[in-house]
Amino acid sequence: MTNKINITLSATKKEKPNADQLEFGRTFTDHMFIMDYSAAKGWYDPRIVPYEPISLSPSTMVFHYGQTVFEGLKAYRSSEDKVLLFRPDKNMHRLNLSNDRLCIPQIDEEFVIEALKELVSIDKEWIPTAEGTSLYIRPFIIPTEYYLGVAPSKYYRFMIILSPVGSYYKEGIHPVKIFVENQYVRAVDGGTGKAKTGGNYASSLKAQEEAEKRGYSQVLWLDGVEKKYIEEVGSMNIFFKINGEVITPSLNGSILEGVTRNSILHLLKHWNVPVSERKLSMEDVYNAYKEGLLEEAFGTGTAAVISPIGELFYNEENIVLNNGETGELTKKLYDTLTGIQTGNHEDVFNWVVEVN
């Protein structure tokens, strides 16, 4: 394919929302990136066009069997007015891992990062500046063949859309209550748990809905075979601090490998905090709690960055962590990581990529 991106600018500019009215994923910018795929042409016709609805036949495969993948990352505006991306190479590499699992053709990671930068640059006025706000970037791929047979599509569309998002924590970072899920499971080894694909989210809704009805904000997922071992929390990876050691479940085939998870592991090692990736059962966590050794717990993901856990409901019992307050290490990780992402903290690992 030719890597020339065709640009059609929007004739009018939409009104931008006020920073205090921003919700997650409700408002979109003036432009989007599109490219298409056919076996004969490969990925072709990369273009930036005005953001608008797309038209597809009802028989388009995307409406039927869920052969989709997506990514999520953010652009930040630094205090010096620079536009910064956080480890976009990790996201585009993961998109290809998801593509492989869903039988979707590979993308050119470097080219797509260039396309993303170009799009963010065109819509950079949309990046909110208030503390905690950012521009959420959603790359995704859908199958576009008109066909009801169950088979990998012969045609695809890759798109990137942008959404200004408000601070995840309106009143500052605060701990959430978690329901340890003992009925539904998110994923199993050999399934699609380690790919970022829509079906994993569709199958998680029921548990999430029931947990919310009981007053919990997310579920903690246990392994799909024995329902003993900890996997993730909501759509985030999870960490525990037990007796001075930070533990996160090892990547076992059903856990999604988060960019935030990976970054936290690097930071902790850099600080010489004892850290391990291993199998961890809910019973281990409960025993640590009973012995007074369970110090902190938090979820990690692009949307919230770090989400402290204040309470776990497990076996009809409430496990309260750190008096329901944000732990010291949790707070330090949140401040450091968001500091690096927004250009306010030294970027020791060269994670930040500037958009010109």
Ligand X SMILES: *Cc1c(COP(=O)(O)O)cnc(C)c1O
Give the binding site for ligand X (CB under 6 A): 72, 196, 232, 235-237, 256, 258-261, 300-302
Q: Which is nearer to ligand X, 120 or 259 (CB)?
A: 259
Contact indicator for 91, 112 with CB cutoff of 8 Å: no
Smallest distance, ligand X to C-beta of residue 305, A: 8
Q: Which is nearer to ligand X, 142 or 259 (CB)?
A: 259
Smallest distance, ligand X to C-beta of residue 257, A: 8
3-state helix vs strand vs coil in the chain, percent to 5? 25, 30, 45
**DSSP-assigned letters across all residues of 155-220:** EEEEEEEEEEE--S-TTSS--EEEEE-SS--S--TTTTTTS--HHHHHTTHHHHHHHHHTT-SEEE
Taking the C-alpha atoms of residue 293 and residue 230, their distance in angstroms, rounded to an integer, is 18
Smallest distance, ligand X to C-beta of residue 148, A: 28
Q: Which is nearer to ligand X, 48 or 165 (CB)?
A: 165
Smallest distance, ligand X to C-beta of residue 6, A: 30
Q: Which is nearer to ligand X, 27 or 192 (CB)?
A: 192
Contact indicator for 19, 128 with CB cutoff of 8 Å: yes
Smallest distance, ligand X to C-beta of residue 238, A: 9
Beta strand pairing call for 237-242 and 294-301: antiparallel
Smallest distance, ligand X to C-beta of residue 335, A: 17
Q: Which is nearer to ligand X, 163 or 300 (CB)?
A: 300
C-alpha separations of 156 from 96, 163, 278 in Å: 14, 23, 38
Q: Which is nearer to ligand X, 10 or 262 (CB)?
A: 262
Smallest distance, ligand X to C-beta of residue 204, A: 8
Q: Which residue is at the shortest CB distance from ligand X? A: 258
Contact indicator for 180, 220 with CB cutoff of 8 Å: yes
DSSP 80: T
Q: Which is nearer to ligand X, 75 or 122 (CB)?
A: 75
Contact indicator for 6, 45 with CB cutoff of 8 Å: yes
Q: For the CA atoms of the chain, what is the radius of gyration?
A: 21
